[in-house]
């Protein structure tokens, strides 16, 4: 047994071994380098913790193919049932959802996708659990759906975000624009909304054992109040008021509260939805340090106050039994005070990249 290749020295092989993260490859290279340095077969094999025949096989592989021939070979594994193009098409099919008339279902189950694989891709005998693993590898997971209004206009939403800066400038009074140009006034972006909080509350997700359905108390009575809230994500501050109804007088009270929290020498651009008691009411009293900007219709996704409500409901305002409206108001106040004590939380939840002026 001898090494016949001479384009690499023993030191070259040692350097290759030191640079590799493949432990088996390193051991083979070092064993060959020891043979090239004159070590006996027994001693070199003992160093590598193999028998002499294995060392002889390594030398032959090196003589035939050089250092690359000593690399650890990995099994190619079982041939993929779906080609890359088929896997991409399958993933898009799953993400787009089924057609009731064509597929007979309104949501995909792994059992349904087994039939799709057989009919569309001629891939048969796939177990539903295997389909689930394929979907996980594609980055897909079964998630709770988020409702949206059937008249939602995504193009209008994108246009609003793209033209947000111009829309704000168009809404500002001339006197405010002059002060902004002279830099004697700063601009704050605020978001406003109200949420009904009451005895017929909401449920939330909790940790529990797989295969179980944990219980959470939910009152069937309907006494409630309205929590009016607004946040300024840039400053991490908020303003809220609890009222018995969603109407113009309540909105006026909330606007008064917001105006007190707006920073000195600042003007607030307050974004709100198109509810009748917001910007459309002729009896609405808007403080001089606030300008209202109405969001596109059916676009709760643009108002990050919706995310604030979801956060408060999921962490402070669910799984409760309230005997009176006073109890509801007290818990709403506690929940809001807990939120505003975390400015970084308001900034994290409320900030969006497009909200810049």
CATH number at residue 337: 3.30.420.10
In a domain, 234, yes or no: yes
Q: Are residues 133 and 190 in the same domain?
A: no
Q: Are residues 48 and 103 in the same domain?
A: no
Query: How far is the C-alpha of 191 from the C-alpha of 272, rounded, in Å?
Result: 6
- Show the tokens assigned to 17: 């071994």
Q: Is the pTM of this model over 0.85?
A: no
In a domain, 36, yes or no: yes
Q: How confident is the prediction along the chain (357 residues), in pLDDT tens digits per residue?
A: 688 888 888 898 889 888 988 889 999 999 989 888 989 888 888 888 899 899 899 989 998 988 888 888 877 777 888 999 999 999 999 999 999 999 999 999 999 999 999 999 999 999 999 999 999 999 998 887 777 778 888 999 999 999 999 999 999 999 999 999 999 999 999 999 999 998 777 777 778 788 888 887 777 777 899 999 999 999 999 999 999 999 999 999 999 999 999 999 999 999 999 998 987 889 999 999 999 999 999 999 999 999 999 999 999 998 888 989 999 999 999 999 999 999 999 999 999 999 988
Q: Are residues 162 and 280 in the same domain?
A: yes
Q: Are residues 197 and 241 in the same domain?
A: yes
For residue 114, the enclosing domain spans: 84-137
Scan for tokens 């947000």, then name that residue: 164
Domain boundary among 29, 48, 70: 70
DSSP string, 218-265: ------EEEEEEEEETTTTEEEEEEESS-SHHHHHHHHHHHHHHSPTT
In a domain, 128, yes or no: yes
Number of domains, the chain: 3
Q: Are residues 90 and 170 in the same domain?
A: no
In a domain, 54, yes or no: yes
Q: What are phi and psi of 334, to 5 degrees?
A: -60, -40
> Which strands sit side by side in the sheet containing 266-272, from one edge to the other?
237-243, 224-232, 186-198, 266-272, 290-294
In a domain, 147, yes or no: no
198 - beta bridge partners? 224
In a domain, 355, yes or no: no
Spatial contact of 32 and 8, defined as CB atoms under 8 Å apart:
no
Q: Are residues 51 and 95 in the same domain?
A: no
In a domain, 224, yes or no: yes
**What local confidence, expressed as pLDDT, does residue 1 receive?**
62
DSSP 202: B
Spatial contact of 35 and 3, defined as CB atoms under 8 Å apart:
yes
Q: What are phi and psi of 48, to 5 degrees?
A: -85, -5
Q: Are residues 130 and 43 in the same domain?
A: no
Query: How far is the C-alpha of 334 from the C-alpha of 36, rounded, in Å?
Result: 78
In a domain, 3, yes or no: no
Q: Are residues 308 and 174 in the same domain?
A: yes
Q: Are residues 104 and 180 in the same domain?
A: no
């Amino acid at each position: 047994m001898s090494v016949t290749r001479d384009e690499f020295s023993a030191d070259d092989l040692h350097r290759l071994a030191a640079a590799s993260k493949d432990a088996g490859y390193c051991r083979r290279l070092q064993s060959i380098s020891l043979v090239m340095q004159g070590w006996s077969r027994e001693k070199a094999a003992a160093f590598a913790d193999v028998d002499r025949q294995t060392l002889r096989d390594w030398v032959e592989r090196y003589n035939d193919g050089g250092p690359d021939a000593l690399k650890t070979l990995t099994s190619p594994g079982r041939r993929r049932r779906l080609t890359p193009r088929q896997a991409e098409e399958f993933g898009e099919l799953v993400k787009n959802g089924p057609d009731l008339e064509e597929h007979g279902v309104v949501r995909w189950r792994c059992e349904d996708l087994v039939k799709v694989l057989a009919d569309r891709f001629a891939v048969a005998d796939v177990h539903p659990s295997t389909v689930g693993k394929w979907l996980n590898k594609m980055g897909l997971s079964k998630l709770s759906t988020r409702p949206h209004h059937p008249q939602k206009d995504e193009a209008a939403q994108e246009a609003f975000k793209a033209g947000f800066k111009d829309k704000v400038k168009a809404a500002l009074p001339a006197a405010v624009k002059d002060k902004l140009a002279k830099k004697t006034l700063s601009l704050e972006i605020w978001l406003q909304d109200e949420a009904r909080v009451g005895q017929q509350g909401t449920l939330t997700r909790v940790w529990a054992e797989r295969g179980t359905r944990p219980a959470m108390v939910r009152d069937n009575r309907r006494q409630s109040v309205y929590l009016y809230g607004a946040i300024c994500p840039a400053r991490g501050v908020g303003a809220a008021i609890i009222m018995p109804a969603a109407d113009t007088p309540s909105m006026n009270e909330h606007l008064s509260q917001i105006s007190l929290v707006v920073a000195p020498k600042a003007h607030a651009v307050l974004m709100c939805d198109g509810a009748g008691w917001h910007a459309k009411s002729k009896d609405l009293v808007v403080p001089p340090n606030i300008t209202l900007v109405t969001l596109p219709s059916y676009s709760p996704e643009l108002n990050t106050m919706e995310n604030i409500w979801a956060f408060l409901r999921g962490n402070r305002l669910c799984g409760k039994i309230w005997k009176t409206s006073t109890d509801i108001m007290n818990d709403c106040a506690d929940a809001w005070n807990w939120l505003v004590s975390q400015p970084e939380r308001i900034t994290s939840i409320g900030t969006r990249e497009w909200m810049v002026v």
